[in-house]
Structure 1
Amino acid sequence: MIVKDWCSFCGECAGVCPRNLIQVKEYSLVFDESECRECSTCVDACPINALEKED
């Protein structure tokens, strides 16, 4: 996952991750990529399109 500069750290992505892999910590997102199944739920949930899937 790529987090863009304009991420507001609102936590919407963390709230919808079915595997609970995302945490908001002091103006950053902590993301466990090793367990991600690339379902894009977090990307779709972002209200300001600040997340993107890596190719």
Structure 2
Amino acid sequence: MKVFGDPRDKKKFRRYIVWGVEDGIVCASFMAGIALAGWVFHLIFSVLGVA
């Protein structure tokens, strides 16, 4: 039994997988950037003696 009988369906399915992976990478890098910025601000404030 062929799941993807039509080549266009296979291409569309592959495109959705690529979009999902790209969205995951963007989301992960965004969250990592926020965590890194928080760590940098904590480091700065601890050096200043505020935190």
Which interval holds the TM-score relative to the shorter structure? under 0.3
Normalised TM-score (structure 2): 0.24
Normalised TM-score (structure 1): 0.23
Where is the helix percentage greater, Structure 1 or Structure 2?
2
Larger Rg: 1 or 2? 2
Where is the strand percentage greater, Structure 1 or Structure 2?
1
Higher-RCO chain (CA-CA 8 Å, sequence separation at least 6): 1
